[in-house]
Structure 1
Amino acid sequence: MGEAAVKRDTIAARRQAQAGDVRARRRQEIVDAAVRAIEELGCDAGLGAVADRAGLPRPHVYRHFTGKDDLDEEVARRAGRLLSAWIRPSLTARGTPPEVIRGVIGRVLGWAVDHPHLYRFRVRLGPARAVPELTDAAVTYLRAAGYDARPPDHVVASVIGMVDAGVLWWLDHRDDEGVESLNEWLAAQVWLVLADMLERIGRPLDPYAELAPALDNFS
């Protein structure tokens, strides 16, 4: 291959890479626009609202996605990452098991109160969009207590489903007891589920033992 051909191939590869970067950036901008539209208008924000916030004609939005499901998946992933970043500071707190659970759920509730539509959107797409840090936190705290164990997937799914259902109910009703009461109730129920799981495998955990996970587990 001659020098001219090599140069042409190099230029073509560079242009292709730049085009890929532009597509990825535009895709990201559309996801950002969809998040803003949902935050402002609710889970059923239409394509027009997304296009307006992205500064694009409506037909151009789906040029960067395979369809609505693809865009929805990306928005749900973004919501999950935002929630993950918000709850992360609570995942290295010292405390008894009930205190740790209460702190984590409190962070989840705080985010849901500030972003109710985005929380609903994330849950609507199903448990596969669960926040992985919650499972990682459970594993880390159990290890801190001397248990090299991971909660079974069905237990994790049950706990996350219960928390999501409780939060959604509260968002819809905003009962007089308030978010603190919901936090206490959910934390108590989650602790009962986890305590029962540990009891069943013959490794009960003292509810008054202080747990302190390694900080580098969530760096």
Structure 2
Amino acid sequence: MRDGAAAPARSRDRRDSRWDEHRRARREQLVDATLAAIGRHGAGVGMDEIAAAAGTSKTVVYRHFTDRTDLYVAVCARVADQLLPRLRAAMELGGTPRAMTTAAVEAYLAFCEADPELYRFVVHLHPTDRPVDADPIDSLSDLVGDQAAALLRSALTQAGRDPAPAGPWGHGLIGLVRAAADWWLRAERPMPRAELAAHLTELAWAGLSGVVTTEPRPATEATEDL
């Protein structure tokens, strides 16, 4: 009897697993439809427009997502999954810390430039259905800040400096780039992406270069400090 009882249980498990996979696939399709709707209608897209892009009704969308916040978090997670590997790859290219910083800044700006409306949707248009317990974009900023901090910590250590400031500097650098990217998009990209990345690196490095390099400082600078 034990074998007979186990068979229906295994059958139910397989059915449950199939339905779980179906639900996951349907959620991914609805995220795809949301991305398409954002591309068509902009960051302020509504649920009616998202449902139309999916070829279904809002009732069906809400069958798979608790509310607009749940859908927003899923879109943010998709964006984070795409963006974070690009930023990691840029930071891990090697070379000097300055070159790695420039590469990471330009990778972030490339994401903004490729789809400004999607950037605005995930970064600025938090839904008001309920508080977002775990915003993947905020988590993404933290992860990128941690990587920038690790880069700076290594450079400070190699320069024989105290690595303690690496944490606030790394996260501050991410805040600088994010604020500048917001301005760049609002101003309708008044300069090429590479030029903006160079400007931001120059600003950051003007403060960082004195503490993350082992190169001797010019005598005039040493005299001015005195």
Q: TM-score, normalised by structure 1?
A: 0.77
Cα distance in 2, alignment partners of residues 80 and 21 from structure 1: 22
Q: Aligned pair 1:161/2:172, yes or no?
A: no
> What is the identity, as a one-letter code, of the residue corresponding to 1:3?
D
Q: Which runs of 5+ in 2 are unaligned?
A: 127-136, 216-226
In structure 2, the residue matched to 1:184 is: 198
Give the secondary structure class of the aligned counterpart of 1:130: helix
Alignment of 1:69-88 (within 5 A): 69-88=69-88
1:83, CA displacement in angstroms?
1.5
> What is the identity, as a one-letter code, of the residue corresponding to 1:14?
R
Q: Aligned pair 1:130/2:141, yes or no?
A: yes
1:141, CA displacement in angstroms?
6.0
1:41, CA displacement in angstroms?
2.1
Change (3 A) 1:173 1:39: same
1:158, CA displacement in angstroms?
2.8
2:101–2:201: 8 Å Cα contact kept in structure 1? yes
Change (3 A) 1:64 1:156: farther
Change (3 A) 1:112 1:131: farther
Give the secondary structure class of the aligned counterpart of 2:213: coil
Change (3 A) 1:6 1:97: closer
Cα distance in 2, alignment partners of residues 131 and 83 from structure 1: 13
Cα distance in 1, alignment partners of residues 142 and 199 from structure 2: 21
In structure 2, the residue matched to 1:112 is: 112
> What is the identity, as a one-letter code, of the residue corresponding to 2:14?
R
Greater CA drift, 180-189 or 59-68: 180-189
1:38, CA displacement in angstroms?
1.6
Aligned length: 201
Cα distance in 1, alignment partners of residues 142 and 53 from structure 2: 27
Cα distance in 1, alignment partners of residues 151 and 70 from structure 2: 33
2:213 aligned to which of 206, 209, 215: 206
Change (3 A) 1:42 1:149: farther
Q: Which runs of 5+ in 1 are unaligned?
A: 209-219
> What is the identity, as a one-letter code, of the residue corresponding to 2:55?
G
Change (3 A) 1:32 1:55: same
